Amino acid sequence: MTKFINLHTHQFSNDSNVLEVVNQYPWEFDPNIPTYSIGIHPWYIDENRLLSDLDCIEEKLKETSCLALGECGLDKRIEIPLETQIQVFHQQLDLVQNTEKPIILHCVAAYQEIISIKKDRNIQNPMIIHGFSKNEQVAQSLLSNGFYLSFGKYLMRNLDLEKVFTFAPENKILLETDTIEESIFDVYEKAARMKGLPMDEMKNMIFQNFKSIFKP
């Protein structure tokens, strides 16, 4: 059965119609969540537990229920030094590059750095920018460097994003709820309307994208 895909959420709904990639943090890991991603978000880097967090990520990446690394990445608008963020990001990439699992990325004002790291490390794992909210130029730069874009919160809130979403190639997009109150079905409805597609087509398109990226 073709399920709705929720690429990134912080809430496990246990809806049998939806395959959810639930965001997990190493320091509060919940073994009852059936499909998840795990990573160190740049906001929550804590050097006192960094080694144990990385050990946890390394272990979980071996499990089939762990679908991806993340969310992890870079954020230039927080107080944690970018140098520290980059170091922790590299440490996580060291772990995931031993696998074929995708990477779900948090990126704020650091797209060039993320692109450079992907090139310098020759990362073959699929890399997905979650919660994409930027303009067509940024989208094009990311797409031409092999990134996927996941839309959700800002698709529901920002009318300007419609142009970017309709321009994005259909095989390069995913949908998510992140922390919004709306359901993944609401996000799919909006996305289908923007792309001018019937809901079944939108559902099948995202499912096929998920299959090609995650190889479940």
Q: Give the tokens for residue 173.
A: 């997009």
Q: And the tokens for 172?
A: 């390069």
* Strand 127-129 relative to strand 148-151, pairing: parallel
Tokens of 138: 């940024």
Binding residues for a divalent metal cation: 71, 106, 130, 178
Cα separation of 125 and 99, whole Å? Answer: 8
What is the phi/psi pair of residue 17, to 5°? Answer: -85, -5
Tell me the C-alpha distance between 90 and 84, whole Å: 10
Known binding residues are: 71, 106, 130, 178
